[in-house]
Amino acid sequence: AAWWAVVGWLGLLLQVLLRVIRGAPSSLAKLLRSLGLRHPLLSAAPAVAFVQLPSKAPADDLPPLSPPPGRLTVVLDLDETLVCAYESSSLPATVRTQAVEAGLHCFDMEGISSDKDAKGRQRVNHVTVFERPGLHEFLQKTSEFADLILFTAGLEGYAKPLVDRIDAHNRFCRRLYRPSTVTTEYRDHVKDLSCLSKDFRRIVLVDNNPYSFLLQPLNGIPCLTFSAGQPMDDQVKWHC
């Protein structure tokens, strides 16, 4: 079942690449190289019909994007796509040591939890974050030809300080958190790209969770889940 799920999402990947490449082949080629993909895969992609699922609108009412002509919009997930995070108290010391020795960069941070303590105060979680190999080069190179948007199902109290650390150069032109996701009859916290753009020919979502693509599957680019146990991961390394 897992194998057929992978095959199915690879088929969806071919569809979104076919649709976007018609509008911006040179820019898309750069994005494909950064993900280790090649153009010849697109030649055999058949047309696929798509019926949108019902959903409940998110709490936020975001203004639509207005990217300059010729630019793509690349929407990026956070957890297990750009980084992986663990509660510091439950992270085995050996896992951290082995990951760092293998070359992974990590940092510790505090994030505000949605839970409250006995006195009604917001709990503060201590988190250890590992960056995916090639993360900063990927953000820098992709931002040269695409507008980058961070779209996470995580809560802002946790995600905002984390993104502040990995995006010191402010390459994300917009950040969306859990309130911007929608609920469908099949899944909660689905990412609806229509809140960002009505032109789906020039926007893609890179995410390790295939359920994030439920509303616009042809615009989803799946990536492998990243963890601290994968120091040799190359999903977002820039391929020349």
The residue annotated as part of the active site, out of 61, 79, 207, 233, is 79
DSSP string, 179-200: GG-BEESS-SSB--GGGT-S-T
* End-to-end C-alpha distance for the chain, whole angstroms: 34
The residue annotated as part of the active site, out of 77, 147, 192, 233, is 77
Distance CA(83)–CA(41), nearest Å, equals 28
Active site residue 77: yes
Distance CA(62)–CA(197), nearest Å, equals 10
Active site residue 79: yes
The number of helix segments (H) and strand segments (E) in the chain equals 5, 10
Structure-block tokens of residue 46:
């058949």
Catalytic residues: 77, 79
